[in-house]
Structure 1
Amino acid sequence: MSKSAFTIPDWCKDHCISRAMFYKLAAEGLAPRTMKIGRKRLISADASVEWRIRMEKNTQIMEDSDYEA
């Protein structure tokens, strides 16, 4: 059974990024959506999928613009 939500450290480990990079992305408005349950901040599996799709699209847009230059 797959997880339905991740803590930030677990999500970062699963996506091979540091917590510092996560918070940098968050400061830039590029991190996945989070939810607060009690004192924990979690990332739902759905938010994680949406984030990956958004990042892939942004990467493709950047690569396409590099080819046009």
Structure 2
Amino acid sequence: MEALKLALLEKSSYTINEFCLRNSMSATLFHKLIAQGLGPKPYRVGAKVLITAEAEREWKLAMQNPTGRAAEIAERSAAMLKRKATAAQQGSRPADAR
């Protein structure tokens, strides 16, 4: 597994599976991001879908500093997580403390 990780470090383009491995995400999440317009920009060589190292860098920067649609989705996700955390805290209190 370490040899595979090292082999992924110096490529100019990555398959979807390699990209997902490099970025600790599932293929399902990758496809969801692409569908939302928030994924890296892929290109095709025949039937093969690849992501360049440059597209990966640009995507990482966009995720670190979201704007537009990405910022809206990030804000909604943060609000949802906050609501869930609040509900969990209220649900875990003893009945007499409510």
TM-score by length of 2: 0.58
Residue 19 in 1 paired to residue 27 in 2?
Answer: yes
Q: Give the deviation of 1:38 after TM superposition.
A: 1.3
**Structure with greater contact order relative to length (CA < 8 Å, sep ≥ 6):** 1
- Sequence identity, in percent? 38
C-alpha offsets along residues 1-52 of structure 1, whole Å, 9 cap, x if unaligned? Answer: 7110000011001100000000110110000000001110000000000000
- Structure (1/2) with the larger helix percentage: 2
Unaligned runs of 5+ in 1: none
CA-based RMSD of the aligned residues comes to 2.1
Unaligned runs of 5+ in 2: 1-8, 79-98
Moved segments of 4+, more than 6 Å: none
Superposition pairs for residues 8-47 of structure 1, below 5 Å?
A: 8-47=16-55
TM-score by length of 1: 0.82
